[in-house]
Amino acid sequence: MPTFHTAEPITAVVEVVAGAVHLAATDRDDTVVDIAPRDPERASDVRAAEQARVDFHNGTLVVTAGRKVLSLGRGGAVRVDIALPTGSRLNLSSASADIDADGVYSDCRCASASGAVRVATVTGNIKADSASGDVSIGDVAGNARIATASGDASIDRIDGDVKFQAASGSLAVGTLRGHLKHQTASGSVTVGVGVSGALSAQTGSGEVEVGIPEGTAARLELKTHSGTVDNGLEASDGPVDGDETFMVHARTGSGDISIRRAVASATS
């Protein structure tokens, strides 16, 4: 398996048509790449693994697998495992391969047609595009831009801004400190804990649900054509000293809107 000395974080460019990609970022001074057929008994998988390319130059790792055989109509699936330094940058693309990235990364770009994408932690910005595959992100200490057709997306925690656009895909954010812009035809949006910042949500038939923790003042502009609005917050004169502020601007066609106090366990 190819091994490269990498004393610093690298840029990993991975393009895999079908199969699975697993990356693991840890404190290490080398990068190791292992490529194998997903099914060792399937000739097209074996061929795709044999024809895969791995190059490393000036801090950039490039891994490609599956393009040549796919263009001939005999696509094979591979399994790619990459161990690389913490803080590396990712540029990942796939047709139907699932992408799973453990560890901490800086800036990240992901594009997938039907494969699922999961990234554990991003300390910079992340951009993810998907047709029908789901996108799952752990912690983000920067901005996130996510676009899907029908795939759903989730972010556990983000200290930054989020832009989400989809046809029928939905977005769930655990804890938000920043501004979230959400626009879908029928997708829903859920913010478990809106600590500070704002949510601007526009959806046709999707639902909007937001939790506001104690210590955060809420400013609400809610409008729905035929849905229901459920505001579980008590009216107040405004924020007091030390309070955060979270603004919700939500418009739906037939989707319901729900604003509530976040439970204590969700804010920890």
- Sorted by sequence, the CB contacts under 8 Å of residue 88 that are 6+ apart come out as 9, 10, 11, 12, 25, 105, 106
- Rounded to an integer, what distance in angstroms lies between the CA atom of residue 63 and that of residue 48? 12
Tokens of 38: 């997903």
Q: How many other C-beta atoms lie within 10 A of the C-beta of residue 57?
A: 8
Q: Give the range of the structural domain holding residue 210, as residue numbers without chain letter.
A: 125-268
Query: Is residue 65 included in any domain, yes or no?
Result: yes
On average, the pLDDT of the chain sits at: 93
Quote the pLDDT of residue 263: 78
Write down the pLDDT at residue 68: 46
The predicted structure's pLDDT at residue 67: 60
Residues 235, 132 share a domain: yes
Q: Which of 27, 57, 87 is the last residue of a domain?
A: 87
- Please say which residue of 87, 116, 149 terminates a domain: 87
SS3 49: helix
> Is residue 108 very low, low, confident or very high in pLDDT (cuts 50, 70, 90)?
very high
Q: What is the pLDDT of residues 18-77, one digit of tens each?
A: 999 999 999 999 999 999 999 999 999 999 999 999 999 999 999 999 864 444 445 799
Per-residue pLDDT of 111-162, as tens digits, reads 999 999 999 999 999 999 999 999 999 999 999 999 999 999 999 999 999 9
User: Do 151 and 252 sit in the same domain of this protein?
Assistant: yes
Residues 171/148, Cβ–Cβ less than 8 Å? no
71 occurs within a structural domain: yes
> How much of the chain, in percent, has pLDDT values that exceed 90?
90
Residue with tokens 């008994």: 41
Residues 6+ apart with CB under 8 A from 149: 130, 131, 132, 166, 167, 168, 169
